[in-house]
């Protein structure tokens, strides 16, 4: 069994090009996947932080705060991600550098990985804001009023009342956003970040085995999607414990 597997990935075997060591490109693909996952996790964490601030800002902020977040979510959700990535990549670093230079500092050349993560995080943040805002709105008003009547501080209220009750409504949207985050990392190929999709294209172009590498990348992305779908389905079951069950969850 193991022998036939090694034979499959031997340099002259049918899948030799996918072997982990240099004649094969498997190692590069996995490195690309590692970059993709780093970006996805980082962007998701950043998006979640922006989303929490944004959702509370949009619901409880004053007029200026509400308007700023409304502008942010509207623009980000109306403009294609590809273009946002380019705008934030070129214009964003350019602006930061202009400020730095005028203040007498050196130019700042952050790694593509960092920029990609931040850019995708800003995009995720807009969607996350809407998901969390909807979930908070679905918490029965009486629950929050009762907590206020008990004299809970806003932070305690958020932690004990709002958060546990909004989670079950938010998890579905958050799962979708995580899947989007993993897939949107592919867009960073256009700014030359060697994540999975760009690595695949390079490997395919070099070896001319186009279909082999594209199908391999598809399988990798599918595995990521299916595994995270299962994971979020489990989280949703946990968040919904004691609630009537819904169907679905997972890819």
One character per residue 121-160, x = contact with other proteins (rule: CB under 8 A): ----------------------------------------
3-state helix, strand, coil in the chain (%, to 5): 80, 0, 20
What tokens appear for 47 in the block?
């998006």
The tokens describing 83, both together, are: 């273009």
Q: Does 83 interact with other proteins (rule: CB under 8 A)?
A: yes
Residue 21: HSE in the Cβ half-sphere, 13 Å Cα cutoff: 4
Under the binding rule (CB under 8 A), the answer on residue 203 touching other proteins is no
| Structure token pair of residue 78 | 């109306």
CB of 229 to other proteins, least distance (A): 8
Whether the Cβ atoms of residue 122 and residue 50 lie closer than 8 Å to each other: yes
Which residues from 86-105 bind other proteins, rule CB under 8 A?
86-87, 90-91, 94
Residue with tokens 């970059």: 35
Our measurement of the distance from residue 64's CA atom to the centroid of its chain's CA atoms, rounded to an integer in Å, reads 28
Name the DSSP letter for residue 245. Answer: -
Question: Which of 156, 218, 231, 234 forms a contact with other proteins (CB under 8 A)?
Answer: 218
Shortest Å distance, C-beta 125 to other proteins: 17
77: left (phi over 0), alpha (psi -120 to 50) or beta: alpha
Q: Does 73 bind other proteins (CB under 8 A)?
A: no
CB of 21 to other proteins, least distance (A): 25
Which residue in 29, 55, 181, 204 binds other proteins (CB under 8 A)? Answer: 204
Contacts for 178 with CB less than 8 Å, ≥ 6 apart:
40, 44, 228, 232
Binding site for other proteins (CB under 8 A): 63-64, 67, 70-71, 75, 77-83, 86-87, 90-91, 94, 179, 183-187, 189-190, 197, 200-201, 204-205, 208, 210-211, 214-215, 217-218, 221-222, 224-226, 251
């Amino acid at each position: 069994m193991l022998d036939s597997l090694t034979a499959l990935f031997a340099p002259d075997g049918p899948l030799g090009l996918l072997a982990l060591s240099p004649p094969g490109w498997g190692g590069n693909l996995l490195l690309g996947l590692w970059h993709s996952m780093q970006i996805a996790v980082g962007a998701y964490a950043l998006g979640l932080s922006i989303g929490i601030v944004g959702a509370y800002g949009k619901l409880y902020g004053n007029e200026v705060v509400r308007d700023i977040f409304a502008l942010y979510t509207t623009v980000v959700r109306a403009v294609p991600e590809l273009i946002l990535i380019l705008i934030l990549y070129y214009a964003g670093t350019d602006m930061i550098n202009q400020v730095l230079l005028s203040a007498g500092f050196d130019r700042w050349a952050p790694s593509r990985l960092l920029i990609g993560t931040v850019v995708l995080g800003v995009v995720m943040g807009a969607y996350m804001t809407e998901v969390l805002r909807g979930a908070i709105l679905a918490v029965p008003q009486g629950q929050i009023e009762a907590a206020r009547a008990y004299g809970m501080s806003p932070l305690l209220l958020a932690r004990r009342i709002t958060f546990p009750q909004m989670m079950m409504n938010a998890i579905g949207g958050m799962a979708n956003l995580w899947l989007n985050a993993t897939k949107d990392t592919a867009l960073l190929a256009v700014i030359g970040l060697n994540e999975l999709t760009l690595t695949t294209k390079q490997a395919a172009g070099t070896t001319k085995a186009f279909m082999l590498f594209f199908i391999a990348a598809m399988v990798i992305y599918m595995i990521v999607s299916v595994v995270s779908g299962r994971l979020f389905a489990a989280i949703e079951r946990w968040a919904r414990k004691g609630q009537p069950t819904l169907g679905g969850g997972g890819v």
